[in-house]
Chains A and B, each alone.
Chain A
Amino acid sequence: MSLLPTQHRDALSKGMVLLFALPALLIPTTVLCYIFWQAMPVLSLSFVFGSADGAGFGVTEGVFPQLVGSLLLAVMACLIAIPFALATALYHRTYATPHQQRLLNTLFTMLQGIPPIVFGLCGLVVLVNLFAWGVSLLSGAVVLAVVVLPLLVLNTLATLERIPLTYSEAGSALGLGKGAIIWRLWLPRCWPQLLTGLLLAMARALSETAPIMFTATVFSGVVWPDSIFSPVTTLQTHIFYLAQEGSDPLVISIAWGSAAVLVLLVASFGLLARLLQKLGAH
């Protein structure tokens, strides 16, 4: 028997929960506020959409080439990963034996935990050197595709698993084959959730720095890529290099500005994903 009355025990419990929950909420919020506070002096439309000519390396001009580079890499990575992720998830759900299903689950959960820099290193050895693609948009996109693939597969699987068995059986009972059930029943039903997963994967690709440092990006001399075999500049690596030049206050401000733009970009994908999730729920 507790010595405290019920209402006091409830208050104590609530206090304990808040004690740990509030810092978890406050710390990231403070960090975000600090980023935007530091970025305020340089943040402007001309900073975001200003195009550099290659001479100022984004220090004196805007970060538009870096923004486009980041987006290009993320979009290409997801475009490469989507068919593989969808096919893997559909195979898992439709044709795989229970043993194969367990194996695939373990494999992709494990792959998700591998540090992305390891994939970057593999990309450097195989794509950049062995395939002689060089440091390029394509090499970076392929490496990023491998990084986001487990996330996409697991999200697609979770989405497909939420489809009730009765829904698929109603299709089977009408004589629909597996292909028809996939294309006519499953995909029209769960496309908002699949798109949500895709946007989250794009946000993840935009957050990755290590794998593209070896395989896709250069800091100086490049503004727009000429082809998929050209290197690109990205916001992530831009921030990294500017932070290393920490002595000049203007350079540091530009780094904060670039960080704020990157945060806004990732957040916009997250928000869009939430919006689609709501749409899917209706």
Chain B
Amino acid sequence: MTADCKYEGFPAVESASPIESVESDGKQLSALLTVDKLSLVLGGKEILQRVDFSLAKAGVTSVIGPSGAGKSSLLRCLNGLETCWSGTVAVDGKDIRQWRGGWDQLRRYVGLIAQKPVVFNASIRANVCFGIHGWRQRRRADELVEQSLRQAALWDEVKDRLDASATTLSMGQQQRLCIARAIAIKPKVLLLDEPTASLDPRSKQLIEQSMLQLAKDIPLLCVTHDLEQAQRLKGRTVFMCDGRVIEQADCDQLFKQPQCIETREFLRWSVCDCD
């Protein structure tokens, strides 16, 4: 479902795929995460208004839109950092409000990577192991550390100094360490809130490669202000404005043939800004 366009003469635009199934690489994949009429009010202000969309079992979905559109708040709702919302969010067909084990358990299932990397005051190894639970997982911690750091494209840079403090890493490396820490707990969905904001091009490229690699196994929902990044990541693109999903479609379709006037305006102004 998509929100109605604001201007008369523009019909409501249907999303390219229904909630129940999403097309990826020519295959029909059933949705792993569905969001239905999600609304959030904070401090008397409507941050999200009846947001609807879904994520397939793999692939990248980029969320674009102007500042204050509610993109980051959407991720916080899906990860359970915001809990006072209305509507339905279901992961694997189960409402996350009735999740067994509560919000803490849900957050292990739906991982979140923040815009600014936050590493803990501990070694690189300890940072990756932070979310690992249970003796079985802990017994194979070294294996998990290597696997996660490799997936986050950081292993080669830190393999000789795993016991060094994580704070000695550069910003780009810290962000990749955060990705490794999040994937070490084997989430089923990964949410990324502008993961490459204010990073150098090399770090950006490494993180994007890592994201594309991860997206083969799990769905990634990535909020980004970088439209070129959204195009590089391919997959689906969701355009949000004023707390609503205005339009969602495959990346090429949304960027080349936006159906809604607000999307067109946003893309036009964003391209002007880039120029």
Q: Taking beta carbons and an 8 Å cutoff, which residues of A are in contact with B? A: 164, 166-167, 169-177, 184-185, 188-189
Contacts and interface: CB of A to CB of B under 8 A. Distances in A.
B240 to A, nearest CB: 21
A170 B120 contact: yes
Interface in B170-211: 178, 181-182, 185
B181 to A, nearest CB: 7
Contact of A170 (B105, B118, B122): B118
Interface in B70-113: 79, 81, 104-108, 111-113
Given A166-B114, A169-B81, A174 B122 contact: no
- In this complex, the interface size class of chain B, counting residues with CB under 8 Å from chain A, is 20 to 34
A173 B122 contact: no
Contacts, number: 52
B131 A176 contact: yes
A174 B131 contact: yes
Given A167-B120, A175-B107, A188-B121, 15 more contacts: A166-B116, A170-B178, A171-B130, A172-B104, A173-B111, A173-B112, A173-B182, A174-B107, A174-B182, A175-B105, A175-B185, A176-B104, A184-B130, A188-B122, A189-B121
B177 to A, nearest CB: 11
Main secondary structure of the interface of A (DSSP, over half): helix
16 contacts: A166-B114, A166-B116, A166-B118, A167-B118, A167-B120, A171-B120, A172-B104, A173-B114, A174-B131, A174-B181, A175-B104, A175-B106, A175-B131, A176-B130, A185-B120, A189-B121
Given A166-B114, A184-B130, A173 B120 contact: no
Contacts of A175: 104-108, 131, 133, 185
A171 B112 CA distance: 10
A174 B81 contact: no
A188 B130 CA distance: 13
A180 to B, nearest CB: 9
A173 B130 contact: no
Contacts of A188: 121-122
A274 B66 CA distance: 46
A169 B104 contact: no
Contacts of A189: 120-121
